[in-house]
Amino acid sequence: MSRLVDIGENAVVGRLIEQLGRACENDDQLVVGPGDDCAVVDLDQADRYQLLKTDSIVEGIHYLSETAASKVGWKAVARVISDFAAMGGMPSHLLITIAMPPQTPMSYLEQLYHGMQNCASLYGATICGGETSSVPDGAAAVISVAATGWVEKNRCVRRSGGKAGDLVMVTGSLGGSITGKHLSFSPRVNQARWLTDHFEINSMMDLSDGLGCDLPRLAASSQCGYLLNENNLPCNEGTSVDQALGDGEDYELLFTVSSQIANSLRASWAKQFPDLKLSVVGELTERSEEVVVNEQGWQHFKR
Ligand SMILES: [Mg+2]
């Protein structure tokens, strides 16, 4: 009997998506099914799609028992909002499910919701309900956020729209999130809205598991290979290239654009967001091949 730990997350999700496949194919309203940052539904509104997202964080995995509750709450909601940004969209309504040990102090919950509320209201979203449940004393707490959002039909960006020759860009700096950023990051909603308003963004996702994991996912979704130039990685101060690729929880935007618009995009970005880096870290290629350029030169990996 194969176990989840043996199969790995990518393959687990792949197998579940395969199992769901036919039902999704038969749903006329479903524009984008499982496998992107959000599901996309066409509810016959003239110019908008509905976006759907759910996400959870678990004590001991995504945060520690001693982490301030308001920061845990911020993170739970910010992760979801980051996925709306990844589609070029906005969040609207959130449902919160918590499963906590019965011995949890009420003040902890109040602080948790304070953090969630702060993040939601900053990005124009409303917490409109949820569910409270318990786990056995001593077991890890779970916080789950289910959310609706929206995006204009002509601004909806999928992971799958990348084209060979596209340049690959990332916002901000990567690596070392565990030192604090993973609890206090700002989802890149404004940046994604500005990008999709002014430029043709071919594909986009948010960086949750690290560029080393997420770029191959985006390229595969776009049926492309990729070239990653490690010499151009925007490493956070004090972090190595390996950390920038593998630490994860950066919650920056990873997107691709035609090389023809790259220069004007970068020039406009520098004016619009002077305090936030934008880096070209590689390109999508025709071949189903992974090429990494680093100080040692070029390395090819056949998929
Ligand atoms: Mg995501």
State whether 130 and 70 are in the same domain.
yes
* Residue 172 falls inside a structural domain: yes
Q: Of the candidates 131, 155, 179, which is a domain's last residue?
A: 155
Distance between Cα 3 and ligand 1 center (Å): 24
Structure confidence by residue, pLDDT tens digits, 97-110: 999 999 999 999 99
Distance between Cα 37 and ligand 1 center (Å): 4
What pLDDT is attached to residue 209? 94
Q: Of the candidates 155, 189, 223, which is a domain's last residue?
A: 155
Average of pLDDT values for 65-70? 96
Mean pLDDT of the chain: 94
Distance between Cα 5 and ligand 1 center (Å): 21
Q: What residue type is assigned to position 97 of the chain?
A: T
* Residue 238 falls inside a structural domain: yes
Average of pLDDT values for 116-134? 97
* Residue 10 falls inside a structural domain: no
Backbone angle region of 130, left / alpha / beta, with phi > 0 → left and psi within -120 to 50 → alpha: left
Structure confidence by residue, pLDDT tens digits, 20-30: 877 888 899 99
Buried b (16+ CB within 10 A) or exposed e, 218-241: bbbbbebbbbbbbeebbbbeebeb
* Residue 76 falls inside a structural domain: yes
What pLDDT is attached to residue 10? 81
State whether 206 and 267 are in the same domain.
yes
Q: Which domain holds residue 280?
A: 159-302
- Tokens at 29, concatenated: 């309203």
Distance between Cα 39 and ligand 1 center (Å): 11
What pLDDT is attached to residue 298? 65
Q: Phi, psi (5° rounding) for residue 74?
A: -55, -50
What pLDDT is attached to residue 39? 97
Q: How many residues does the chain have?
A: 303
State whether 175 and 297 are in the same domain.
yes
> Measured between alpha carbons, how far is 260 from 32 in angstroms, rounded to an integer?
28
* Residue 2 falls inside a structural domain: no
What pLDDT is attached to residue 254? 98
Distance between Cα 36 and ligand 1 center (Å): 7
Distance between Cα 189 and ligand 1 center (Å): 13
What pLDDT is attached to residue 303? 45
Total structural domains within the chain: 2
What pLDDT is attached to residue 297? 67
Distance between Cα 83 and ligand 1 center (Å): 5
Distance between Cα 105 and ligand 1 center (Å): 32
Selected residue with higher pLDDT from 17 and 142:
142
We report the CATH number of the domain holding residue 106 as 3.30.1330.10
Structure confidence by residue, pLDDT tens digits, 268-302: 999 999 999 999 999 999 977 888 887 666 666 64
Coarse DSSP helix, strand, coil percentages of the chain, rounded to the nearest 5 percent: 35, 30, 30
C-beta neighbour count of 42 within 10 angstroms: 14
CA pseudo-torsion sign 254, 255, 260, 262: negative
State whether 150 and 220 are in the same domain.
no
* Residue 15 falls inside a structural domain: no
Distance between Cα 136 and ligand 1 center (Å): 30
Of 57, 50, 40, 178, give the one whose Cα is nearest residue 116.
57
State whether 172 and 147 are in the same domain.
no
> Measured between alpha carbons, how far is 111 from 71 in angstroms, rounded to an integer?
9
Selected residue with higher pLDDT from 290 and 115:
115
State whether 163 and 150 are in the same domain.
no
Under the banding of pLDDT at 50, 70 and 90, the label for residue 77 is very high
Average of pLDDT values for 238-256? 95
State whether 165 and 292 are in the same domain.
yes
Average of pLDDT values for 234-254? 95
State whether 217 and 251 are in the same domain.
yes
Average of pLDDT values for 144-162? 98
State whether 163 and 295 are in the same domain.
yes
State whether 142 and 99 are in the same domain.
yes
Distance between Cα 80 and ligand 1 center (Å): 8
Distance between Cα 102 and ligand 1 center (Å): 32
State whether 163 and 183 are in the same domain.
yes
pTM given for the model? 0.94
Under the banding of pLDDT at 50, 70 and 90, the label for residue 240 is very high
What pLDDT is attached to residue 224? 96
Distance between Cα 106 and ligand 1 center (Å): 31
State whether 177 and 286 are in the same domain.
yes
Give the environment of ion ligand 1: residues with CB less than 5 A.
37, 83, 206, 208
Distance spanning both ends of the chain, measured CA to CA: 27
